[in-house]
Amino acid sequence: MGAAKVCNFTENPTIPERGSDNIVFDPGNDRVEEAVTKRERSSLRALRTTLPLFILLLAVGVLTGCRKDVKFTDEGGISLDFSRDTVLFDTLFTGVGSVTKRFVARNPSDNAVRVDVTLEGGSPSPYRLNVDGATGITFDDVEILGGDSIFIFVEVTLDQSNTSNPFILQDHILFNTNGTDQSVLLEAWGQNAHFIKPSPDLAIEGLPPFSYIAGGYDENGVQICETVTWPNDLPYVIYGYGVVDSCCTLIIESGVQVYMHGGAGLWVYRYGQLKAIGSPGQEIVFQGDRLEAFYDEVPGQWDRIWLNEGPAENSNELENVVIKNALVGIQCENVPWRPEEPTSAAKLKLNSVKIRNCSAAGILSRNYSIEATNLLVGDCGQYGVALTGGGEYLFEHFTIANYWDYDIRQTPAFYINNVYRDINNVLQVRDIGNSRFRNGLVHGANESEFQFELSDLQPPTGLLFSNTMLRTTQSTSGSPYFDAATTYRNQNPAFVDASVRDFHIRQNSYAVGRADPATELLGSPFDLDGIPRGDNGGFDLGCYQWVP
């Protein structure tokens, strides 16, 4: 599909497809919606790649055709040179194969040698070897020409029966060269986890693989309505989509770590509910399941948290939560195959939430209500926050900062409109009512990071931006949606260091002292670090208070 475009009155915003590597799609026509459109039930009862554990890598040697001239020595005292003395695997989940690591064994002698190579732990070892193109645990008379070298490849899969958390598993590769013994240490840090894996019985063509976290049906076909709690005992690893079905609730306790395998997501279906309540220092974290340091800041490792509509008592709550490296952080919307549904009565409530490094969008909303305070959304490939269709929004003390530098971004950090095309290609114009954005800060690397497109066919009945810093080329003067006295355009936020994504503000920030001290939402009297607002003699815009 083409490059992403900013929304207008005749097009939907471009959004990544659920369960796909594609960056953009039309949400009204994706495979999930087409498959479920045909279903009448309110529940997801209708929802009906593993890589090879070891990729054989061959080390190609240069053969001269003059083998009769190769001289092998039985001389003692020859030691091989190793490119590393320890092969370390960072924290792995039990039962999940590692990446392949390699090292080189070099023969420093002028003459060829024959080397015996053995995996000390033998068959019970969780490690697997490939030595000079052959797999096994014992390799006799491996030939290394004078001044030449061989590659050794190593993988590991940790035993699920080990319940330690974490634990260390060691083994050695033993080398014997003409009576000289040497070894290379193998060490893996392991961690057991709760695994949520797709059920083959629920497979439906057109839908990503999924399983029920809460809900489903019993053996008599009766829908299960339940509350499931995830305690902070072990991490949780989701493969495919984990579904919280209608009439069910998932409670995630403080400190829980949720890891998503490639393409995985959490789906709270209509009339389901999510309550992820962390605490300062014990945040709940959603991220990819690659634990190597290289993947710490790689975006797009998993899909999204997808929240559908419900009654007011089913509001979804996230507090002290970190969401990172997804395709879309949170997508909240009425299910698209019910295009006439009103704005969801259930709200998304965010308090002290960080969303960052998403390939497409941090928050994508359509016909949904959101309350957010101490919200930080940073560095997304398309939008930081995109609010589309109808809705009701109360945002206080928020920072939306987009310095995405993986490629060129032509979309704003913050976008709001009230028009979209539904699944039937009908132009929908919805009301944005009783919505206020205040004490916020929108900035980024582009010239215009704030954009609004509102149709006169249904003018918002209660939308107001006040005490807010905006980087934008759009005019806000004379608009009923902006408080002229407290809308600050194109001023310097003076972040501590945007290059390393430190969005705290300095003393010279234009945001200092320009917030309205009156707040409505729980948590607003404190900043994202738990610092009382007003401690520096004033109240500052954004999620962080300047600290002298």
Cα separation, 180 vs 116, whole angstroms: 10
- Is residue 266 within 8 A of residue 289, CB to CB? The reply is no
| pLDDT score for 79 | 95
Those residues with Cβ within 8 angstroms of residue 28's Cβ, 6 or more apart along the chain or in another chain? 12, 336, 421, 422, 423, 424, 425
Cα separation, 161 vs 159, whole angstroms: 5
| pLDDT score for 49 | 30
The SS3 call for residue 202 is helix
Written as six digits, the tokens of 528 are 């994202």
Residue whose C-alpha is closest to residue 387's, from 15, 1, 25: 15
Written as six digits, the tokens of 382 are 């398309």
For 463-488, write each residue's pLDDT tens digit: 999 999 999 999 999 999 999 999 99
Cα separation, 354 vs 376, whole angstroms: 5
| Burial 98-109, CB ≥16 within 10 A → b, else e | beebebebebeb
Place of tokens 């990172």: 324
Q: Residue type at 98?
A: S
How many other C-beta atoms lie within 10 A of the C-beta of residue 52?
Answer: 7
Residues in the chain with pLDDT values less than 50: 1-11, 19-41, 46-67
Cα separation, 380 vs 244, whole angstroms: 27
| pLDDT score for 8 | 33
Those residues with Cβ within 8 angstroms of residue 64's Cβ, 6 or more apart along the chain or in another chain? none
Structural domains present in the chain: 67-191 (2.60.40.10), 209-505 (2.160.20)
| pLDDT score for 60 | 32
| pLDDT score for 186 | 93
Between β-strands 210-214 and 241-244, what pairing exists: parallel, antiparallel or unpaired? Answer: parallel
| pLDDT score for 88 | 87
| CB neighbour class for 477 (10 Å; exposed up to 12, middle 13-18, buried from 19) | exposed
Q: Residue type at 542?
A: G
